[in-house]
Amino acid sequence: MQVLALVLLLPAVLAAVPPIVRITDSPITLPIAKRIRAVGVTNFVEADRARARSLIQMSKAKATKAGDDILNTNADSAVGNDPATNTLVSYVASVGVGNPPTTGSSNTWVGADTAYVKTPTSIQTGDTVSVTYGSGSFSGTEFLDLVTLSNGFAISNQSIGVATSSSGFTGVDGILGLGPTDLTLGTLSPDTTTSVSTVTDNLSNQRIISTPLLAVSFEPTNSQAITNGELTFGGIDSSKFIGNITYVPITSSSPSNTFWGIEQNITYGGIPIMFTTAGIVDTGTTLLLLPPLSFAAYVLNTGATPDSTTGFLKMTTSEFANLKSLFFSIGETTFEFTANAQAWPRNLNSFIGGDPNSVYLVVANIGLPNRLNGIGFINGQVFLERFYSVFDTANKRVGLANTNFTFATTN
Ligand SMILES: *[C@@H]1O[C@H](CO)[C@@H](O)[C@H](O)[C@H]1NC(C)=O
Ligand SMILES: *[C@@H]1O[C@H](CO)[C@@H](O)[C@H](O)[C@H]1NC(C)=O
Ligand SMILES: *[C@@H]1O[C@H](CO)[C@@H](O)[C@H](O)[C@H]1NC(C)=O
Ligand SMILES: *[C@@H]1O[C@H](CO)[C@@H](O)[C@H](O)[C@H]1NC(C)=O
Ligand SMILES: CC(=O)N[C@H]1CO[C@H](CO)[C@@H](O)[C@@H]1O
């Protein structure tokens, strides 16, 4: 088994699925581990803002080519697809490649840390693959191979890139690509106009899951590395949430509608800090990013101060004792994002360059005003660690539910 970072920018549109015979009644679940980087990037808030900018550029690139097969060759598109490099927090999974499985990304990659071993199921296609992910990159050879998820489900003839060179990846063997298929266009050579079926595409195509749906369970933690997450392909895991799932349609606002875009409004201590705005839910962003004016209202009302060392908002423990909940109004439901949820885990302050006796907040400024951006906010990992999330392609909707961790005190 190799350990792959998940590429979890979820596409708004997975492969269309023809009417099918249901082969498995059980959705496929895959355990995922969370890792917090100890070294490298110093300003993680800026890393999240850079991701926001790249997502906006990616959607603009798509918009200008609407109706075409999109040739997405620019590096910025790929940046948006990759939480594994240059970010504070990565979620990783173990998968097998080959039969017997020896190892295991939009492009799935192996071989960065542990060598790929060819087996009888390995078919070399003759193409080379190359993807640039902002500060990191992979290039190598394309193979089709059997990819085994950690629970035994196998995808045959899955396209994988076997790295001959990679940079910017530490402690992982590659990438399990769960991003939009369009992002794989232009990654193959000489077949530059061929896109690559992703793992999720092939799970649907091969009728291993009955519907292209992904559900994500993250949990807050104050450990640097822990396996506490779960990705479910093709269904939801009702043991991971409490009450009902609130579903909202993907927003019609562009460019948020290119991704998992929703509309929400936010109050703090009874004061509206964000009126109803379109933005996205994104598993590849670490923090909660708000529009500049909403962020300013948050700063004003919480008394937090911007800290130039870490880039985070900072407060004293006595100020933190008075911090109130944020309330997110999404569809018919109000989701409470507690004071504890707004704090970076205190025993991990050194990971962001902070001092041990202060409290750093995970609420940050997206940087560009909504009218320039079109993506007003990003509900990133810190949000998804408090709520179960469902990305339902067939019904073009996003689901959210409370969990045992919504009100947990971990930080
Ligand atoms: C995989 O692709 C090869 C070559 O195209 C083909 O011979 C083989 O039948 C395929 N295997 C499966 C399980 O689809
Ligand atoms: C929540 O916690 C309770 C008590 O530990 C447990 O019985 C229940 O199964 C948990 N529910 C979920 C959805 O995690
Ligand atoms: C969940 O939904 C069902 C059916 O719509 C409803 O009867 C029930 O009251 C809801 N439960 C909660 C906790 O909202
Ligand atoms: C916030 O959203 C809720 C539910 O959609 C709505 O009832 C309320 O009017 C909204 N408030 C603002 C200030 O946008
Ligand atoms: C059955 C099926 O859909 N297989 C596809 C899996 O992915 C490879 C690589 O992109 C395709 O060539 C197969 O057609």
For the whole prediction, is pTM greater than 0.85? no
Query: In which band, very low, low, confident or very high, does the pLDDT at 77 lie, cut at 50, 70 and 90?
Result: very low
Q: Which residues line ligand 5 (CB under 6 A)?
A: 144, 157-159, 196-197, 202, 205-206
| 241-402 has the same fold as 4-41+86-218 | yes
Q: What are the residues facing 398 on neighbouring strands? A: 248, 391
Question: Tens of pLDDT along 289-323?
Answer: 999 999 999 999 999 999 999 999 999 999 999 99
Q: How is domain 241-402 classified at the CATH fold level? A: Cathepsin D, subunit A; domain 1 (2.40.70)
- Mean pLDDT, to the nearest integer, of 373-401? 90
Q: What is the pLDDT of residue 391?
A: 84
- Mean pLDDT, to the nearest integer, of 244-270? 92
Q: What is the CATH number of domain 4-41+86-218?
A: 2.40.70.10
Question: Tens of pLDDT along 336-345?
Answer: 999 999 999 9
For residue 72, give Cα distances in angstroms to 80, 113, 168, 174, 280. 12, 27, 21, 21, 21
The burial of 113, by beta-carbon neighbours within 10 Å (0-12 exposed, 13-18 middle, 19 or more buried), is given as middle
Contacts of 252 (CB under 8 A, 6+ apart): none
Mean pLDDT of the chain: 77
Sign of CA dihedral 17, 21, 23, 29: positive
Q: Which residues line ligand 3 (CB under 6 A)?
A: 243-244
Give the residue, 62 or 153, on which the prediction is more confident. 153
Question: Tens of pLDDT along 357-382?
Answer: 999 999 999 998 766 677 899 999 89
Q: What is the pLDDT of residue 83?
A: 34
> Which numbered atom of ligand 4 lies nearest the CA of 263?
5
Share of the chain above pLDDT 70, in %: 71
For ligand 2, pick from 404, 405, 407 the residue to mutate: most ligand atoms within 8 Å of CB: 404
Question: Tens of pLDDT along 99-126?
Answer: 555 433 345 667 766 778 888 889 999 9
Q: 3-class SS at 346? A: helix
Q: How far is it, in rounded angstroms, from Cα 224 to Cα 14?
A: 32
Q: Where are the domains of the chain?
A: 4-41+86-218, 241-402
Share of the chain above pLDDT 90, in %: 34
For residue 10, give Cα distances in angstroms to 28, 81, 281, 286, 399. 17, 9, 9, 15, 14
